[in-house]
Structure 1
Amino acid sequence: MFLARQRSMQRLVAVRVEPGGDSDAPTVAQLDHHYIVRVFDQRLIADGSTGKPLRLLYMQYLPGGTAEGVFTLLRAQRAAAHSGPAASAAAKTPGAAEDAGADSESETPGEDRVEAAQAAGGRGIGVDAGDGAGEADSADAPIRADAGVGAAARGTAFGGGLLLRAVDAAMEERGEIRPADSRVRRDISALSWPETVAWVGRRLAEALDHAERHGVLHHDIRPGNVLFTAEGVPKLADFALGALYWNTGLPGAAGVTADDPAGLRWRSPEALAARLDPTAALPDTRSDIYSLAVLLWEMLTGTAPFDDPAPDGAPGHEVVTGMLARRQAGVPESALGALPADTPAALRRVLLECLHPEPEHRWQNGADLAGQLDLCLDSRARDLVDPPPQSLRVRARRWPVLIAAVCVGLPNALASMYNIRLNQSLIVDRMPVADQHRFETVALVNNAIAFPLAALLLFWLARRPLTVSYRLAHGRRYSAAELARARSDTLLIGERAVWVPFAAWMIAGVVWPLALSAAGAHLPRHTFAHFLAAQLVCAAIALAYPYFLITVYSVRSLYPQLLARGAVGAADRRQLTALARRSSVYLAAAASVPLLGVATATFVSPVDLELVIVPVRWLSVGGILAFVLSYRLFRVLEEDLRALVRAIPRGAP
């Protein structure tokens, strides 16, 4: 790898020289993405000593070094933290020798070397240059305003400043000057170290997703192939090498020539299996996701998740077999103990799922992984999705049917008490004894029919959120389409749970008087108005108060489980935003309950006002208290929905 100046475009480029005339550089050059190193040109020249062709790839020059430089500084910083002040001072000036490209060589040829390559002729794929200044990060505001413990990490040894120090060290070695004023660098410096790892990983996952959608896989993700701009923005390099690795039929021992033995550390179990068995299926994008997780784990902890022996020449069958066995056994407890104390549970979960031995249990594409890593950058969102194991929200997931029944049943029970007390005073007590018996009979029949029907309808409408939540907790897996439907139904469970009782109360306000009249009871005309007014108040209670109880429960306990399964996109963002807007309608309904109670009292004659004053007083006081509770729940719900919206990447389909 060489640093050179391309005279035709008057720009610095990284030039990789490798043997062989076959290349998929034209395909890789089409990967125009903010987080992928651009391939500008390709030249073929003849090697005078062997007569075989040499391929020169002209690539985007990034001055910030590679991830290996970050690892070097991280290890030195951690060693200094355990060794005392003297070692700490030495760790501040790391000698992380980084080249312009992907490997550790730093030879810089003169311009005549580049001109010679151009004069030799060959095919070229000239493309516009990019300076790697992190335009995407400036445009889409990637850093969360409430990013966890980031503010506390500002200026500490293991915050985002560590990444910037590694970038600055690489730039200083090349004589580069770091940006004087950069919003991206300021945002990175405000992150904790785990958040910095998630920030870097999210961008590399987006790069993998973009490449996959263009039919390109990497297959060789390692620290040397992750480069940084001067602002600390990561870019993924050497897609061409990854494609060639598999296209040349190298699952056997010949594959060692495509990379150094140490490069196997970042390979997935299926990639290692393909080396041992030439007939094994070739790895897909889930293998790249596994390799990226290994890299992020090492960036997070300073150590690899698997205790592989140091490479000693070409890896033989026994070495590769041992590496495969360790990965199939999963991440060991010793590696889990190396995670920093401030590692969010969400980041731990995301990386462990990426490192699952079975590809079908990992995130299935880069977009899903990017969304999960984005979630790790929002403290409120990640606390919702990955609460402490013994928290109330986690324990509440075990009893979804019971909790939903209490959330719906309790307000409706209180409404029934108000309704019975009011109707007893104004209507039932004034009926003849025979009509009172008819009233009791009609009430018994109506309740025996209405309550079971309403309960069955409610359970049927809520069946998917309640059953999916239970089955997920017991290890059941669902397809992306099933999870999307479950997420949509979970956000609607609160509204479905209130409109069914609301409709039942309003229907009862009409059916009961008609049923009494049909049974032979004599009802004065004003009785119909009293009965309907009381039912209207009860319907408002059933509409407003259960909504916030059950919606907050579903958003805080049930929905996050589904969000953690991935495959979220623009549809989920629209559903969350729409729910936030509709919630204000139910808040207005909660405010109207005391007013409705007072309004219904105006229909009562002055003589009967004494009979209803106590129920109306209790309704008014209780309604005000219930509105205060509803408002607090509304604010909690509003903040939770905003956090969940922020956790969905803007570029998600």
Structure 2
Amino acid sequence: MTTELIRPLRSEIKSTTPQSRVPSETRSGMAPSLPEMISKSRRLASAFSKLGHCIGDFQLVSLAGEGSFGKVFLARQRSLDRDVALKITADLGHEGRTMARLEHSHVVQVFSEEVVSDRGIRLLCMQYVPGGTLHDVIRGLSFPGRKQWDGNAILDIVDDLNTHPAVMDPASLRSREQLAQCNRDEAACWIGQQLAEALSYAHGRGVLHRDIKPGNIMVNQYGKPLLMDFSLSLPAADVSNDRDAIFGGTIGYMAPEHFDALNPHHPSGPDQVTEQSDLYSLGAVLLELAMAGHERTRPEVVQPGNANVAPALRRIIGRCLEPNKQDRYSSAKELADALSGCFELLRVERSLPAKGTLTAVAQKYPLWFILLCTCVPNLTASAINLLYIGVVVIKDLTSAQQTAFFQMVGGYNVAVISLMGVMLHRTLFRAANSWQKLRGDRLLGAEELREARRQTLRLPFWTFVLGSVGWLPFAITIPLGMELLAGPVDRGVMLHTGVAFVVTGLVGIVTNYYVVAFVVLRAVYMSLWRDVDRLRETASNEIADVPGKNRICQIIAGLTPLGAATLLILVGPEHFTADSYHQFRHTVVVLIALAMAGFWLSMTATAFLNEVVAVMTVKPPAKTDAGTGKLMSWVRSILATATFATPAEALLRSGNQE
């Protein structure tokens, strides 16, 4: 991926004059040069375009816009009594015929074309689009003092630009509602996706636009973008064969190969301008839109790390702006799918539970967050457990047995820590390596991303396994080791020691699981997507089993201390001294309290993680069989009428409803 996103030069935004490839001295006896054609077209358009006058069937109402080849007017078509956009140019090019074949909801529709031969002008009657150009919108969004903008800001600007009353289209109100709900990056994706779909439609019919820029994109009162001004367009198959073709572009939005094709000293020709050239131009437009209103010290270049654009959108724009067209999207359809997926990804991220300090830290330092938030609680629990066993459980054992206990604990920890290091290298550190690659904006393939997500999603499971391997053998190994090294140990002490290690271990295991699951699902998983396609469906398959695992951990968190307390009561000492009774009672009370606290904490963590999963996935509606559905309908009828009727009346009403 490119390390810099090339920004269209603001100084060139209004420069729409195409350049001719053929030197003027070689044109003797040929058609006029392109600058001459443009000048002639402008002169003719100005000469025959007086407001209030009629040209053929059209009465000119107001000037709507002015381009390189002519002028566009809001006009009244007298025969049909409707408002239209009338473009007046010299009789050049193929724009009318090209646009006539493009009947798409995001392409300005052409109604008719008429050549006034005695005046040498062409009248192109098009759909009137109330609103303004995307250039006007971006200029409004870049107004000094505007720090942030969203879909509503775009609609407000379009409403201000729309000074002519327009016919209400109820079917398009949904588009306005969708845009109004978008933040800045979502709005850029939403607009870009529709423009890419329009390009895909045009490319599918062999038409290249070749002059995509904000000034050639209308935004109507519903926020829908529409491509227009196909004066430089041409069927791709005819790009180098048509003598009447007009070849040019707008500096700042042209792809490198397009710019080279306009250079008379470069060996490449117009045939090098392909579909990927249009995608480059669209990427430049999207970058300008996404960056509207943000200050830049170098307007022509945006560093990805400082672009203040969502990473997923930044990567899509960056791929559009690759210098080599082979590295760009292969088609406008692929770009539209990528923008659609990016929009869905951004919506999912915005719908996730609010990002607090912990989430922000976990997203920035996921590996260190996992290591710190698992090691510190486990080390603390281990220290408290050893202190408890040393002070309460084994205090009456012989010196040799106490020494054997601490020797066994030390030796076991050395072995377990060595094993943990090997297993962490094969699980956590391998997954973290893929996170680091993505943090560096490295472009990974689809298979690499799937593997990275697979490794990442398995981390909570491996955490559970590692914790079980590290903690649970303590309960058997330590008591048996004490007996082997220092002679027989009281069975009550062995049981008490084993229970203490099991309780501490399971609490540590569950804590580790929830910490790692939190980092994986809330902080990391959503970053492991690039050109997103069917995000929710894929996520549903990848994380469908997470709620079930959460329930298991919730049960373990609550039942472990409670089960330990029950076990101590059932098989505890038959006789107590005053001190041992108080210790026993306190131990049971603490275990029950731990059970209550653990269940509440695990329930909170489970609810949070399940909410994250629900946002990311698509859950099918619950299915009920006919019998169950009928029973539920009967119950709802009873509940609905019971407040106002006797039971007999309620049953009667329920039967009547059926």
| Structure 2 contact 564–591 (Cα < 8 Å) conserved | yes
Alignment partners' CA distance in 2, 1:519 and 1:42: 100
Match of 2:542 in 1: 575
- Answer yes or no: is 1:267 the counterpart of 2:244: no
| Structure 1 contact 350–372 (Cα < 8 Å) conserved | no
Alignment partners' CA distance in 2, 1:439 and 1:481: 50
Structure 1 residues 180 and 563: CA distance shift in structure 2, 3 A: closer
Q: Deviations over 1:507-556 (max 9, x none)?
A: 44344455556657435555665454334323321232122223323444
Alignment partners' CA distance in 2, 1:335 and 1:361: 21
Match of 2:557 in 1: 590
Q: Give the aligned residue type for 2:157.
A: L
Superposed, 1:224-373 pairs within 5 Å as: 226=217, 231-234=222-225, 244-245=235-236, 248-249=239-240, 257-259=245-247, 261=249, 263-276=250-263, 277-279=266-268, 282=272, 287-299=277-289, 333-334=298-299, 349=314, 353=318, 356-358=321-323, 365-366=334-335, 367-373=337-343
Deviation at 1:201, TM superposition (A): 2.0
- Answer yes or no: is 1:498 the counterpart of 2:464: yes
Give 5+ residue unaligned stretches, structure 1. Answer: 6-11, 50-56, 83-147, 306-330, 647-653
Superposed, 1:412-561 pairs within 5 Å as: 412-421=378-387, 423-424=389-390, 428-474=394-440, 476-515=442-481, 521-523=487-489, 529-561=495-527
| Structure 1 contact 161–189 (Cα < 8 Å) conserved | no
TM-score, normalising length: structure 2: 0.60
Deviation at 1:169, TM superposition (A): 5.3
| Structure 2 contact 464–512 (Cα < 8 Å) conserved | yes
Alignment partners' CA distance in 2, 1:304 and 1:188: 21
Match of 2:641 in 1: none
Match of 2:135 in 1: 71
Alignment partners' CA distance in 2, 1:376 and 1:336: 25
| Structure 2 contact 94–234 (Cα < 8 Å) conserved | no
Q: Give the aligned residue type for 2:572.
A: V
Q: Deviations over 1:441-470 (max 9, x none)?
A: 443333222221123213311123212223
Deviation at 1:408, TM superposition (A): 2.0
Superposed, 1:392-403 pairs within 5 Å as: 399-403=365-369
Q: Deviations over 1:546-573 (max 9, x none)?
A: 2222332344443444346757733235
| Structure 2 contact 231–246 (Cα < 8 Å) conserved | no
SS at match of 1:494: helix
Q: Deviations over 1:232-286 (max 9, x none)?
A: 4345579998672475248xxx99944554x454322343234444448946665
| Structure 2 contact 93–231 (Cα < 8 Å) conserved | no
Q: Give the aligned residue type for 2:467.
A: P
Match of 1:203 among 185, 188, 194: 194
Match of 1:176 in 2: 167
SS at match of 1:176: coil
Match of 1:123 in 2: none
SS at match of 2:475: helix
Instruction: Give the alignment's Cα RMSD to 1 decimal.
Output: 5.7
Match of 2:572 in 1: 604
| Structure 1 contact 227–237 (Cα < 8 Å) conserved | yes
Superposed, 1:134-173 pairs within 5 Å as: 158-163=153-158, 172=165
| Structure 2 contact 217–226 (Cα < 8 Å) conserved | yes
Alignment partners' CA distance in 1, 2:136 and 2:468: 64
SS at match of 1:452: helix
Q: Give the aligned residue type for 2:339.
A: L
SS at match of 1:160: helix
Alignment partners' CA distance in 2, 1:476 and 1:287: 24
TM-score, normalising length: structure 1: 0.60
Deviation at 1:481, TM superposition (A): 1.9
Q: Give the aligned residue type for 1:455.
A: G
Identity level (%): 20
Larger radius of gyration: 2
Q: Deviations over 1:396-448 (max 9, x none)?
A: 56654433222222332244245435544676445444444444444333322
Give 5+ residue unaligned stretches, structure 2. Answer: 1-71, 78-82, 118-123, 619-658
Alignment partners' CA distance in 2, 1:382 and 1:283: 43
